[in-house]
């Protein structure tokens, strides 16, 4: 009776050009995956320290990556706007006061209105302006008065978890790529129930059989792994956008003038690029698999028939 095994050596590609294209697509997937991880790292560390710009003004680091920013505290003498900009980042909450070349970090997440009072102290705003936060005295500033009967706090755990989750997924994907190259037998199917084995993309067999599998066999496994990248790219902006909408909704209920609450341009653009890059990586892996189908089905599976 015929017997199936996985000991066949990898067959040569149908053409050198096809093999080069397969290598290029895999390399592009690596680039897109690395870009997705870099974006999440930048979002995680944005606003954690202050820097000096070219004019010597103090700024929050990577300030354009703020999830939401709004103006307030010190009114402008020339218009209805405010001079201080508060910025909510994934892991910090701070402010910038360009007129005084000053910036600072208040905490890891916004606690309003108490953080506004802390910023007022840092900027030497008269204590009478925010006296209503300390007791029954009225606030001299209409801006602080608008926040007297409202309280808002965002938990920092969920955004932090979503970013760490995304980074762990990316590390897991690249670790699997390393194992495919150097120790594929470690990726042997470990499913206990047969119903799971039917769908599991991991190979089954001995160490020598698994390590003899051709590269085209691993394309299905790669596609399964890389399909997790869009999940990693989706969760952080989804959670942070929801938090940003909560901040904007709270500010909308305050009659404090034009605070110009808006999402950070850099945050929106970079996360959109990250999401697009994650799908581009999956597409590259899919195209690599399609190119591998130029060989026969038996060659893709690394299967031979023994008499």
The three state secondary structure string of 103-150 is EEEEECCCEECHHHHHHHHHCCCCHHHHHHHCCCCCCCCHHHHCCCCC
In this structure, the answer to whether residues 274 and 260 fall within a common structural domain is: no
In this structure, the answer to whether residues 23 and 167 fall within a common structural domain is: yes
Tokens for 81? 């706007």
Number of domains in the chain: 2
In this structure, the answer to whether residues 27 and 65 fall within a common structural domain is: no
Q: Is the pLDDT of residue 218 over 60?
A: yes
In this structure, the answer to whether residues 128 and 216 fall within a common structural domain is: no
In this structure, the answer to whether residues 151 and 274 fall within a common structural domain is: no
In this structure, the answer to whether residues 287 and 215 fall within a common structural domain is: yes
In this structure, the answer to whether residues 206 and 252 fall within a common structural domain is: no
Ramachandran sector of residue 79 (left: φ over 0; alpha: ψ -120 to 50; beta: rest): beta
The reported pLDDT for the residue numbered 306 is: 39
Indicate the average pLDDT of the chain: 83
In this structure, the answer to whether residues 73 and 149 fall within a common structural domain is: yes
In this structure, the answer to whether residues 108 and 63 fall within a common structural domain is: yes
Band (pLDDT 50/70/90 cuts) for residue 7 is: very low
- Looking at per-residue confidence, does 25 or 15 come out higher? 25
66-70, 113-117, 155-159, 204-208: range with lowest mean pLDDT:
204-208
In this structure, the answer to whether residues 257 and 231 fall within a common structural domain is: no
Q: Is the pLDDT of residue 95 over 50?
A: yes
In this structure, the answer to whether residues 195 and 120 fall within a common structural domain is: no
Residue 120's domain comprises 50-156+242-264
**Quick one: average pLDDT of 227-255?**
93
Band (pLDDT 50/70/90 cuts) for residue 220 is: confident
- The neighbour count for residue 9, using CB atoms within 10 Å, is 10
The model carries a pTM of 0.82
In this structure, the answer to whether residues 102 and 41 fall within a common structural domain is: no
CB 78 within 8 A of CB 85: no
């Amino acid at each position: 009776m015929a017997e199936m095994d996985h000991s066949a050596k990898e067959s040569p590609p149908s053409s050198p050009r096809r093999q080069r294209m397969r290598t290029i697509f895999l390399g592009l997937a690596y680039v897109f995956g690395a870009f997705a991880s870099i974006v999440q790292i930048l979002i995680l560390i944005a606003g954690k320290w202050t820097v000096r710009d070219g004019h010597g003004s103090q700024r929050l680091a990577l300030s354009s990556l703020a999830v939401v920013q709004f103006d307030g505290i010190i009114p402008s003498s020339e218009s209805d706007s405010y001079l201080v900009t508060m910025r909510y980042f994934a892991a910090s909450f701070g402010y910038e006061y360009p007129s005084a070349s000053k910036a600072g970090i208040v905490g890891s997440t916004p606690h309003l209105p108490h953080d506004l009072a802390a910023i007022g102290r840092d900027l030497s705003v008269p204590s009478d302006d925010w006296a209503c936060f300390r007791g029954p005295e009225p606030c001299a500033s209409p801006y602080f008065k608008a926040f007297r009967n409202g309280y808002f706090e965002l938990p920092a755990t969920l955004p932090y978890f979503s970013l760490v989750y995304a980074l762990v997924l990316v590390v897991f994907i690249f670790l699997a790529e390393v194992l495919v190259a150097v120790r594929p037998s470690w990726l042997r199917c470990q499913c206990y129930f047969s119903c799971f084995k039917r769908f599991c993309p991991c190979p089954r067999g001995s160490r020598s059989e698994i390590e003899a599998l051709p590269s085209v066999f691993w394309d299905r496994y790669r596609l399964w792994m890389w399909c997790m990248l869009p999940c990693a790219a989706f969760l952080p902006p989804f959670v942070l956008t929801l938090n940003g909408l909560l901040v904007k909704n709270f500010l909308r209920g305050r009659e404090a003038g034009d605070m110009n609450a808006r999402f950070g341009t850099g945050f929106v653009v970079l996360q959109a690029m990250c999401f697009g890059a994650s799908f581009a990586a999956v597409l590259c892996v899919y195209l690599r698999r399609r190119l591998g189908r130029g060989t026969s089905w038996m060659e893709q599976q690394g299967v031979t028939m023994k008499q």
